[in-house]
């Protein structure tokens, strides 16, 4: 990713809400802005909103699946697949509704600097507003 592209893969309102650990502000940021999502493979670099296949984490001990979201591509841990996508609130709502029976939790900025965790149902409620 080029430095010029770095700003494209940042959700400033979400980062600020996470810094305050304010769930209402996080919900508002998710409802009104894009979110960085790890992908299995690179998407069309000329179109940062190209969806691609979303990467999820499966706990090897329990088999539970978590969706990881990020406020900034810089917050994505190095050990995750390198590809990222920038997803809209509508996309996130549709994805969570489609996979709510499979995804057990959603982590936002799991490696910090201000991590937060929510259930898919809570995020669906927040996004549907």
* pLDDT 10s digits, 86-103: 899 999 999 999 999 999
The predicted pLDDT at position 82 comes to: 87
pLDDT tens, residue by residue, 17-39:
999 999 999 999 999 999 999 99
pLDDT tens across 49-66, in order? 445 689 999 999 999 999
Cis, peptide link before residue 113, omega less than 30° from 0: yes
In sequence order, what are the beta bridge partners of 91? Answer: none
CA distance 93 to 11: 17
CB 110 within 8 A of CB 103: no
Q: What is the per-residue pLDDT for 36?
A: 93
**111 touches 75 (CB < 8 A):** yes
What is the β-pairing status of strands 65-69 and 56-58? antiparallel
Superfamily (CATH) of domain 3-128: Uncharacterised protein PF11572, DUF3234 (3.40.1350.90)
Instruction: For residue 101, say if its preceding peptide bond is cis, omega within 30 degrees of 0.
Output: no
Q: What mean pLDDT is reported for the chain?
A: 87
pLDDT range class, residue 104, cuts 50, 70, 90:
very high
**pLDDT confidence of 43, banded at 50, 70, 90?**
low
């Amino acid at each position: 990713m080029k430095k010029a592209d770095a700003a494209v893969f940042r959700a400033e309102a979400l980062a600020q809400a996470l810094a305050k650990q304010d769930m209402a502000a996080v919900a508002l940021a998710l409802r009104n802005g894009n979110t960085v999502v790890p992908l299995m493979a690179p998407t069309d670099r000329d179109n940062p909103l190209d969806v691609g296949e979303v990467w999820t984490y499966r706990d090897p001990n329990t088999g539970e699946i978590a969706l990881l979201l990020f406020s900034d591509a810089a917050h994505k841990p190095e050990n995750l697949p390198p590809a990222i996508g920038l997803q809209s609130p509508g996309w996130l709502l549709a994805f969570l509704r489609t996979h709510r029976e499979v995804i057990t939790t959603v982590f936002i900025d799991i490696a910090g600097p201000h991590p937060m965790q929510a259930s898919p149902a809570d995020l669906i409620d927040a996004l549907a507003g």
